[in-house]
Amino acid sequence: MGCSMLDLKVVYRNLDPAKPLDDPLPFYVKRPSDPVGILAEELKLTESPLHVLLIGQRGVGKSTELNRLRRELHYWNTFQVDLFATRFPLHELNDLLYSLVDRFADSMLRNDEQLPQFKSDIQIAPARYVQNKSADASPSSLLGRLVERFRDRCKNSPNLLLDGCERLPAKDLEVVIGLFARLQCSVVLAAPIRVALDYEYASSIGEWDRLVPLPAISVLNEDGRMDKIGVELLKSVVTKRAGDESFEWRAIELLVEESGGIYRDLMTLAQQACIRAATSAKTSVTEQEVIAAVEQRRQEYSFYLTPEDVTVLKKLLTAKRITRQEGLIPLLERNLIVSYQGDWTRFAVHPIVRPLLAHEPLPV
């Protein structure tokens, strides 16, 4: 349960949208049907490598779910690596993968209690492998060797959790997805939504055992009525971080409505409303501050809304369904459109963007 009243400066920090929840997870709220909890149990039970793509648009909580998965697996034989975090400048995809080998190895070496004398068996230095481009030093072969050494030492295959793919160029993302599908250990890779919707990834994702979709949390049902389960879940996301009295009830309702069910948008709006209340010397956030935060966010969206965007968005308002060829993927990646179903069939214009369309004529 949330605290009854917190200082708004503390609340502001708790609402940070840039930080995925990490262990411990006092603010974590389970998604409906708890797909990651189910996945964690399967990874504990399986005796064969399991390759899973955790897919969703920006801000729906993929990184937080990876952190939760690591915790559910009790960290045993489980290594989480940000694929895009490197220790040296990247000039090509191989540099990134060499860096991953280094980070994966370091993750293993830090587990000295679990892996006695493992440190003397593996020494990985990125410069050494970047300079040596021979076939036996390719990233895939090095990763394979690390996995085999781990298996020899621990008698179990590791679980490798990968984040950071959202920031990879499309051509590199396709290579990465193909590479890790063939690694002989369990892999859970957080992937952007285009992987599920763009035809060019079809052959790559076909090599994976399964896709676990993470859609936005539903605020409205398809018939326009309130989705009570989704709304209550999102309210609890705010109150767990902010306490029960830091936001007036109508302020929380408006935050949930305008977030579109995207966690990061919910946190961004709540944080901006919070700082407005704090600068006005208020002890709690009211509807007035939320309205101001929403309007600021709407203005930000309006700066890069193109006539082509308006055409697609207006069509979605009336048709409720649009195809991939009609510009769906770029608008999803910019969160102008929100995905609400795991089978990628239900999409809606983001609530903050919707009023902008009433003032935008259809381009000729």
Measured CA to CA, the distance from residue 67 to residue 74 in angstroms comes to 11
Res 274 pLDDT > 90: yes
| Stretch 219-241: mean pLDDT | 92
What is the 8-class DSSP label of residue 55? E
Give the pLDDT of residue 264: 95
Give the pLDDT of residue 360: 54
Domain edges within the chain: 8-15+218-303, 35-213, 307-357
Q: Residue 234's closest CA among 11, 16, 30?
A: 30
At how many degrees (to 10) do helices 139-154 and 93-109 cross? 10
What does the mean pLDDT of the chain come to?
Answer: 82
Give the pLDDT of residue 319: 78
For the beta carbon of residue 214, count every other beta carbon within 10 angstroms: 22
Q: Are the CB atoms for 342 and 31 separated by under 8 Å? A: no
Report percent pLDDT > 90 for the chain: 41
CA distance from start to end of the chain:
53
User: Which numeric CATH code is attached to 35-213?
Assistant: 3.40.50.300
* Higher per-residue pLDDT: 25 or 313: 313
Q: Residue 94's closest CA among 161, 33, 141, 48?
A: 141
Q: Distances from the Cα of 297 to the Cαs of 162, 293, 349, in angstroms?
A: 31, 6, 15
Q: Residue 187: which H helix or E strand, with range? A: strand 186-192
Question: What would the pLDDT profile of 324-334 be if each residue is shown by its tens digit?
Answer: 777 889 999 99
Res 286 pLDDT > 90: yes
Q: Are the CB atoms for 164 and 191 separated by under 8 Å? A: no
Confidence of residue 139 (pLDDT cuts 50, 70, 90): low
Q: Distances from the Cα of 92 to the Cαs of 102, 129, 134, 136, 139, in angstroms?
A: 16, 14, 16, 18, 12
Chain-centre distance for alpha carbon 249: 28
348 Cβ partners below 8 Å, 6+ apart?
A: 220, 260, 316, 320, 337, 338, 340
122 SS3 class: coil
* Higher per-residue pLDDT: 88 or 35: 35
Q: Are the CB atoms for 54 and 20 separated by under 8 Å? A: no
Give the pLDDT of residue 23: 54
Measured CA to CA, the distance from residue 134 to residue 272 in angstroms comes to 52
The class of domain 8-15+218-303 in CATH terms is mainly alpha
Determine the longest span between alpha carbons in the chain, in angstroms.
Answer: 70
Span of 95-104, 176-185, 208-217, 250-259 with lowest mean pLDDT: 95-104
* Higher per-residue pLDDT: 83 or 166: 166
Question: What would the pLDDT profile of 115-135 be if each residue is shown by its tens digit?
Answer: 433 333 334 444 344 444 454
Question: What would the pLDDT profile of 66-80 be if each residue is shown by its tens digit?
Answer: 989 988 887 667 888
Kindly tell me the sign of the dihedral angle through the C-alpha atoms of 71, 73, 77, 81. Answer: negative
Measured CA to CA, the distance from residue 149 to residue 127 in angstroms comes to 21
Strands 347-349 and 337-339: antiparallel
| Helix and strand element counts for the chain (H, E) | 16, 7
Q: Amino acid letter at 212?
A: V
336 burial (CB, 10 Å; 0-12 / 13-18 / 19+) is: buried
What is the 8-class DSSP label of residue 341? -
Measured CA to CA, the distance from residue 143 to residue 137 in angstroms comes to 10
Highest mean pLDDT: which of 43-57, 81-95, 252-266?
252-266
Give the pLDDT of residue 109: 60
Res 58 pLDDT > 70: yes
